[in-house]
Structures are given as C-alpha cells and as structure tokens.
Amino acid sequence: MATEGNSNFVQPAIPKFDGHYDHWSMLMENFLRSKEYWSLIEQGLPLAPNSSEVTEPQRKLYEEQKLKDLKVKNYLFQSIDRTIMETILVKDTSQQIWESMRLKYQGSTRVKRAQLQALRREFEVLHMKEGEGVDEYFGRTLTIANKMRIHGENLTQVVIIEKILRSMTSKFDYVVCSVEESNDLDKLTIDELQSSLLVHEQRMKGHGRSNEEQALKISFEDRVGGRGRGRENFRGRGRGRRGQPFNKALVECYKCHKLGHFQYECPNLENNVNYAELNEEEDLLLMADDAQIICVETKNGFHT
C-alpha cells in the first residue's frame, strides 16, 4: 500500500475557495484534520514562552507548533485567491486567517441561502400564463433556474424539463403527453423540448387563422344573401342589404327598361312567361336605393 513517504503517493488537492463558504470550510476542515493540523484552527498557536523561564522541552514544543501553523497558513494561502487574501489585514497565524474568512463570507452565505429559498418558492409556483408564448415562458423559467444555480442550487436539466411540462397551459396537453410518451426525459435537452413546443404553437396559430377566415367568409355570404340563393332571399324576404326594406319602385325591368317591376312580371312578355322558364343566361339588374349598389342576378345568384 502506498504511504506518504512513497513517491507514488498522491497528495489530496487543496480545496479552492469559490465563494461558497460553507462548502469550502467543510472541505478545508476535513483536509486539515487529515493532516492533524485542525487544533491550530480551533485553539490557535500557543503563546511564546517567557525566555527567562522556558525549559528546553517547552521551547521545542513551541517551535513544532509554530512550524505546523506555518504549514496551515501555506495551505490557506494556496486555497484563497490573492484578491481576497489582500483584504485580510491580520494574518499572523492560521487561526486569524480562518476567522477573518468566516466573518467575511459566512454572513453572505446566510443571505444567499435565504435568496435561494425565495427562488425555490418562485420556481415551484411558476406556471405558463394564458396567451403567453413558448419562447417567453422558457425565458422566464430559465432566468429563475440560472439564478438558483448561481446561489448554489444543483438544478439538473431534467428537473427543469419536468417543471415546464407540468406547468404548460391546457392547450399544450396533447403535445406534453406525446413528449412524455415518446422521449426519455433524462436524455431530452431543453432546446429539443422548446423546439417541439414551438412547432405545436405554430400549428395552433395556423389553425386559428383558417377558422377565422372561414368565419369571415360565412358572415360575408350571409350579409349578401348567400351564393346561389340571392333570388329567393330577395323575393321571399323582400329586404335589401343590411336588413333595410327593399324598394321595388326603383327596380328596372331588363326587358322594357321601365321601373317598378321585374322582367318576369313585364307586361310585354307573351303570356306572362314564368320567371323560371327564362333563359338562364339573361341577367336581372337590381338597384338598391339605400346601399346605392347595383346587383346583377344570374343563374348562380346575386353578385355585387
């Protein structure tokens, strides 16, 4: 088995301070305990004995402790960044350096922990709003997730994906079920999920435009009397455009060009020929007084 004296022995890495004091202090404490130097942090370097009363064993013990303290300081110097070390004014002993780090960063760690709790609550209650786009919702979700990571939360990609899937609006239920059934969420990326939801969103917008156009078409046909039904609407209902009364006195006969009657009622026609037997290629010119438009009746209905 390899020992510390063996050239093949691998020394444990000195923990680097990355701004998260609680994590760093735990690793550093374990490192110093493994070296049997932790007592210098807890108790500090003993006072130097009085030279007039010191015995040789006392002097030797003090020198050993001082050498150990120098080694601990060396570990701390390697662990802490230079810009931080320059802010520590008193660093004669390893205990002074450790205490200064605790006062500087343990308080801010408590603040970060409180902020992280608030972000966790915000993340849990986060839901997609009605009318909100996929890109907008992903932006809000990932902003909170990134803040949580900055404050030390180990937020995996699958956790974010599961959160998004269970917080979409009901119109995405079909695609959410499809994604969950056809994909391994542990392997699915956030970008792939966003792409699938964007495609579904575009399809829904396309269907919405088609339905709107169909509704406008039906509304327009109802207002002008409907294609293929113009003759019946004008004859049966006796009303013009927009529900206004139809003034027959302004109708011009296509046969004699006199006002007041239709072509099929024209007295100049022999035997008062029935309108249904007229040549279907002939047209009936109608003039609506209030709308001030001209309607031409053909075998296919009225056209404006």
pLDDT, tens digit, for every residue of 145-176?
Answer: 998 987 878 889 999 999 999 999 988 988 88
Q: Total structural domains in the chain?
A: 3
H or E segment and range at residue 71: helix 56-79
**CB-based burial of residue 134 (10 Å sphere; 0-12 exposed, 13-18 middle, 19+ buried)?**
buried
Residues 204 and 248 in one domain: no
Please report whether residue 224 resides in a domain.
Answer: no
Per-residue pLDDT, averaged over 124-136, amounts to: 93
Please report whether residue 240 resides in a domain.
Answer: yes
pLDDT-derived band at 227, boundaries 50, 70, 90:
very low
Longest dimension (CA), the chain: 152
Query: Last residue of some domain: 184, 216, 248?
Result: 216
**CB-based burial of residue 98 (10 Å sphere; 0-12 exposed, 13-18 middle, 19+ buried)?**
buried
pLDDT at 69: 95
Does the predicted TM-score (pTM) go above 0.75? no
Helix (H, G, I), strand (E, B) or coil at 266: coil
Query: Last residue of some domain: 49, 82, 109?
Result: 109
Residues 67 and 144 in one domain: no
Instruction: State pLDDT tens for residues 198-216.
Output: 998 888 887 655 555 555 4
Give the percent of the chain with pLDDT over 70. Answer: 71
- Pick from 158, 37, 171, 18: nearest CA to 95: 37
pLDDT at 261: 78
Residue 66 predicted with pLDDT over 70: yes
Helix (H, G, I), strand (E, B) or coil at 242: helix
Backbone CA torsion sign across 258, 260, 263, 267:
negative
| Cα–Cα dist 278/286, whole Å | 17
Print the domain residue range for 248.
Answer: 232-303
Query: Last residue of some domain: 109, 134, 165?
Result: 109
Residue 230 predicted with pLDDT over 50: no
Mean pLDDT (the chain) is 77
